Amino acid sequence: MATFTKNSRYSKYSDVYKTTDRRGNRVLAVLPARIPLKKNRGAHTSKEGQRLDHIAWHYLKDAEAFWVLTAHNARLLPDAVQFQYRIRIPVNED
């Protein structure tokens, strides 16, 4: 099973469980992350060429927190947020 960093959404907000795969082997699986809602800090007006990890570093001081921005904007994929004109920014409570 893959290991996740301590600030990963899977380490923080997912549960690991045992299941049986198609071959009959017992394996560990991880449930999708259930990320709690956060208060809205404001919005970022994106400019051409800006990357989501840079925006995450600017507001949340963690470049790997791009997934926080993705969840806060109710999107499944970071690319869907990156190309939005206005990106909602959550309050950094961590």
pLDDT digits (tens, 9 = 90+) for 67-78: 999 999 999 899
What domain range includes position 6?
Answer: 1-34
pTM, full prediction: 0.74
- Judge if 4 and 45 occupy the same domain: no
Say how many domains are in the chain: 2
Give the SS3 label for residue 93: coil
> Do both 82 and 47 map to the same domain?
yes
For residue 21, what pLDDT is reported? 95
The values of phi and psi at residue 53, to 5°, are -70, -30
Tell whether 47 and 85 lie within a shared domain: yes
CB 80 within 8 A of CB 72: no
pLDDT score of 94: 60
* Same domain, yes or no: 48 and 21: no
Q: Pick the range with the lowest mean pLDDT from 20-24, 31-35, 39-43.
A: 31-35
pLDDT score, position 26: 95
| Percentage of the chain modeled with pLDDT above 70 | 97
Domain shared by 24 and 54, yes or no: no
